[in-house]
Amino acid sequence: MSSALKPVLLREHFVISRATGAFRRAFDVLCAAAGLLVLSPAFCAIAIAIKLDDGGAVFYAQDRVGKNFRIFRLYKFRSMIANADREGLLTSSQDTRVTRIGRFLRRHKLDELPQLFNVLKGDMQFVGARPEVEKYVKLFHAQYALILRGRPGLTDPATLAYRHEDEILSSLHLERQYIEKILPEKIRLSLEYQQHRTLLSDIRVLLGTAFPPLG
């Protein structure tokens, strides 16, 4: 599974200067704090909607693999029934575990908003490869050894390319499809982006995330 990605790995070691790292971290902290402040009314509205929908917990937390393979708790607005992950980690568009309000949140990526707390804490950054669960990271350890030299992120080109991943996944062979096709391609895109990442390219990714093309 990982052999097809090796040519990408040999090109760069993704070393950044201390000044660049400090600037990116300062940018992340300021933007995450500002985002949490500005979006606080939306947080309240979403929390109320989730409670009115089924009365369950507002937030969902899951272990993900972060920088240098450190495990951290990733936060989301809960979009599925309680204990849904016991039946599988992946979701298709026909998944009956998704709640009514959850479908709306997922469609507009609003369930991801609590990850601003992860950015503020230093678990994540704004632009970077999406954090994966340990089960899948172990399958591509060599590739993630490079990716996770930095913090995982809220978005990157792989995130944009697979914005509607749940619609691509088939409920019949969901995990096999993810491991053999989707995840390797996401890893490839993330690795390639890290090699040529600039402030301008980060801004383009953030704009593409905030203002996705219609259709």
Q: What is the pLDDT of residues 14-73, one digit of tens each?
A: 667 888 889 999 999 999 999 999 999 999 999 999 999 999 999 999 999 999 999 999
pLDDT at 169: 86
122-137 confidence digits (pLDDT tens)? 999 999 999 999 999 9
Strands 125-127 and 71-77: unpaired
Using left for φ > 0, alpha for ψ between -120 and 50, and beta otherwise, residue 190 falls in: alpha
Backbone angles phi, psi at 73, to 5 degrees: -95, 115
pLDDT at 171: 72
Q: In the chain, where does DSSP find H-type helix?
A: 6-9, 18-38, 40-54, 100-107, 115-121, 134-137, 141-147, 157-161, 165-168, 174-177, 183-196, 199-210
Say which residue, 149 or 214, is predicted with more confidence.
Answer: 149
Helix H or strand E segment including 77? strand 71-77
Using CA atoms, how far apart are residues 186 and 203, in angstroms rounded to an integer? 20
Say which residue, 141 or 3, is predicted with more confidence.
Answer: 141
Task: Name the residue with tokens 């998944």.
Answer: 95
The answer to whether 2 and 140 have CB atoms below 8 angstroms apart is yes
Strands 71-77 and 59-65: antiparallel
**What is the value of pTM for the model shown?**
0.90
Domain boundaries, the chain: 33-210
pLDDT higher than 60, residue 107: yes
